[in-house]
Homo-oligomer: A and B are copies of this chain.
Amino acid sequence: MANKKKSTIKDIANVLGITPSAVSKALNNHPRISQQTKTAVMQVAENLNYQPNHIATALRKGKSNLVGVIIPRANSNFFSSIIEKIEDVLNEKGYNVIITQSNESYKKECQSIEALLFTQVDGIIASMANETVKLDYYNKVKQKGVPLILFDRGENDLNVDYVGIDDYMSSHIVIKHLVDQGCKRIAHIGGFSHTRIYKNRIRGYIDALEKYNLPFSDELIYECNLRKVDGKEIMKKLLDLPIRPDGIYVSGDYAALGALEEMKAQHVKVPEDIALVGFSNEPFSEIVTPGISSIEQHSEEIGRLAAETFLKRIANPDEPVTLNKMILDPELIVRASSKRK
């Protein structure tokens, strides 16, 4: 039969004929407890199969050792490797990680925040949903004094720590590459510009076009949810233009895939007729034919930095929180979809 009843610090104390607080101190390696009792306590704890009650500790200490992570959707390599890294770093320090998905919905995101605050997490590491424009819930987190770290999808106005890549620069890198490959008319399939990262990529795209003296017009730029279907449909419109573009820069690999599919369907040669570059280097991008060139965002690095920033915040709770941006350099992985030479 399983020994259902859990043993507590009290049980250990009873066995040894000492007080619970002595046991507690022994377990926490308090300097004033003799080595002798410490080893005795360890021994008995082992025998009784003692497991500390984390909840009691949390109540007493006023911290839960839980960190909440909010992501739009786990269903991408980018986010799942960030999480993996965050877990690595935080588990090391005795924290557990609660992951919730917003599914790109503002409402679900608010619920997640509520739930995490309710669970008394010691901090929240989040990437905002596409839909999110109102910052009220995030402000609530800040107000409660719960450390908040944003990554990838952030927002300057919140004035908190942020980890991400340089989106503006990414666009410049992509456009330069396409220009180098001989593209003269480059379209952009972007995310919605109310999300900061997509806005920056759009800005970067427009500025880079100007820099290289390329034509820009409204018919060359689209904003969407960046799902595969979105890429496909927008590609359709782009192919219907009187003058087709000869290069496409897409802000997400799923959408790029959709675009690629449509081009194949219409027998457009990639990259000869139209060169294609995606974003975030999903595993399938290297798999499809032709492989899709894409921007690698160094997700592990982002995860590591986000976790470490949280730890730093916890260590210095009095330090005032300000906008603290950690910006990593993007890297373009060139594949067949844009390699003409």
By a beta-carbon cutoff of 8 Å, the part of chain A in contact with chain B is 2-4, 6, 51-56, 58-59, 64-66, 73-77, 79-81, 83-84, 87, 91, 96-101, 103, 111, 115-120, 142-145, 228, 254, 257-258, 261, 264, 283-284, 287-289
Contacts and interface: CB of A to CB of B under 8 A. Distances in A.
Number of copies of this kind of chain in the complex: 2
Contact of A99 (B51, B99, B289): B99
A91 B53 CA distance: 24
Contact of A80 (B55, B65, B101): B101
Contact of A115 (B91, B100, B288): B91
Given A264-B289, A289-B264, A100 B97 contact: yes
Given A91-B111, A98-B97, A289-B289, A2 B145 contact: yes
Contacts of A143: 2-3
A20 to B, nearest CB: 16
Contact of A119 (B81, B96, B118): B96
Contacts of A77: 75
Contact of A100 (B6, B87, B228): B87
Nearest to A282: B284
Contact of A64 (B55, B80, B101, B116): B55
Given A257-B284, A287-B261, A59 B55 contact: yes
A263 to B, nearest CB: 11
A302 to B, nearest CB: 16
A77 B254 CA distance: 13
A287 B75 contact: no
Given A87-B100, A99-B98, A54 B118 contact: yes
